């Protein structure tokens, strides 16, 4: 029995983000696990989360996760670093017990941090993320647990999500902000050899970031890392794997106008989709 009275029947994998960024994770997950069903939920009406307080991000994320449970998901991926940084631990430690101890919520920070150890050569890591993720120090804390000897410099890029959400990511105006943030990060540690894009929106700015970052520095995008880690998770948790439906279908939900969502989501995914508006 679960307090939320959620159906025990198998269901889709839930993928949640404040807006469009999680689509960069979903598309990589679907490449390696195409057979499963997915529900993508973007809380576009309340995005961006990056500059919101801890309490609010936790409250909004919990509402979204509960809604995905209600829609049949047994497993929800927080495809959002800000939500992973500010809400995941509370949801895992406090809310799942109450809602349904059999369901699982996973984030994107831990798998990214695990992968970084295989990428860096000198242990000097740079992180680009939202102000909320940087203030939470989640990357610094998680990296210190695995690699206490690493030097971690995290830099907040408050303009990058609005640039992406407003379709400016491939326009010339974005160059200025990207260059400014890359220079600021490199000024804090000139030995950085690996930079993590610690926000799921940032892959949309990748060409501009690549052009601004000095050659030889590895730029880590999270999509395939999170996807591979999900494959591994399902292999280790056959009981969860059995609770997933398989017809290769994805449903797109947004808290904003669905036509607006569909048109930008198409840009992120490279193919047309239809979205439905819901309230959480």
- Which residues are near ligand DGL by CB under 6 A? 17-19, 21, 47-50, 80-82, 130, 133, 161, 199-201
Q: How far is the CB of 188 from ligand DGL (least distance, A)?
A: 20
Write down the catalytic residue from 108, 163, 185, 199: 199
Closest residue to ligand DGL: CB criterion = 50
H or E stretch at 245: none
* Residue (14 or 72) nearer to ligand DGL, CB: 14
Q: Which residue has the tokens 């404040």?
A: 18
Write down the catalytic residue from 25, 78, 80, 106: 80
Q: What is d(CA 234, CA 81) in angstroms, rounded to the nearest whole number?
A: 21
Closest CA to 178 of 192, 190, 164: 164
Identify whether 80 is a catalytic site residue.
yes
Q: Which residues contact 197 (CB under 8 A, 6 or more apart)?
A: 128, 203, 206, 209, 219, 220, 221, 222
* Residue (74 or 201) nearer to ligand DGL, CB: 201
Q: How far is the CB of 219 from ligand DGL (least distance, A)?
A: 15
* Residue (13 or 156) nearer to ligand DGL, CB: 156
Contact 199, 50 (CB under 8 A): yes
Q: Tokens for 253, please give them.
A: 């939900």
Kindly report the backbone phi and psi dihedral angles of residue 181, in degrees, each rounded to the nearest multiple of 5, phi listed first: -75, -35
Contact 236, 3 (CB under 8 A): no
* Residue (83 or 99) nearer to ligand DGL, CB: 83
Q: How far is the CB of 198 from ligand DGL (least distance, A)?
A: 7
Q: How far is the CB of 5 from ligand DGL (least distance, A)?
A: 30
Identify whether 199 is a catalytic site residue.
yes
Catalytic (active-site) positions: 80, 199
């Amino acid at each position: 029995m679960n307090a939320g009275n959620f159906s025990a029947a198998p269901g889709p994998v839930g993928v949640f983000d404040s807006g469009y960024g999680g689509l960069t994770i979903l598309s990589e997950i679907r490449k390696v696990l195409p057979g499963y069903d997915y529900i993508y939920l973007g809380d576009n009406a309340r995005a961006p989360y990056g500059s919101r307080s801890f309490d609010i991000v936790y409250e909004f994320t919990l509402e979204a996760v509960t809604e995905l449970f209600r829609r049949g998901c047994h497993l929800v991926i927080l495809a959002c670093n800000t939500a992973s940084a500010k809400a995941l631990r509370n949801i895992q430690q406090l809310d799942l017990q109450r809602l349904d101890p059999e369901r699982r919520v996973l984030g994107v920070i831990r798998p990214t941090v695990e992968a970084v150890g295989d990428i860096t050569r000198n242990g000097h890591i740079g992180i680009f993320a939202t102000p909320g993720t940087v203030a939470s120090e989640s990357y610094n804390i998680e990296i210190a647990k695995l690699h206490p000897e690493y030097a971690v410099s995290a830099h907040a890029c408050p303009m990058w999500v609005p640039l992406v959400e407003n379709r400016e990511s491939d326009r010339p105006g974005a160059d200025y902000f990207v260059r400014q943030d890359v220079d600021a990060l490199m000024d804090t540690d000139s030995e950085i050899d690996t930079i993590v894009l610690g926000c799921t929106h940032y892959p949309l700015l990748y060409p501009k970031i690549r052009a601004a970052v000095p050659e030889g520095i590895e730029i880590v995008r999270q999509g395939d890392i999170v996807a591979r880690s999900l494959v591994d998770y399902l292999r280790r948790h056959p009981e969860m794997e059995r609770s997933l439906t398989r017809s290769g279908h994805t449903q797109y939900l947004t808290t904003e106008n669905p036509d607006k969502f569909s048109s930008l989501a198409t840009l992120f995914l490279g193919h047309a989709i239809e979205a439905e508006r819901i309230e959480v």
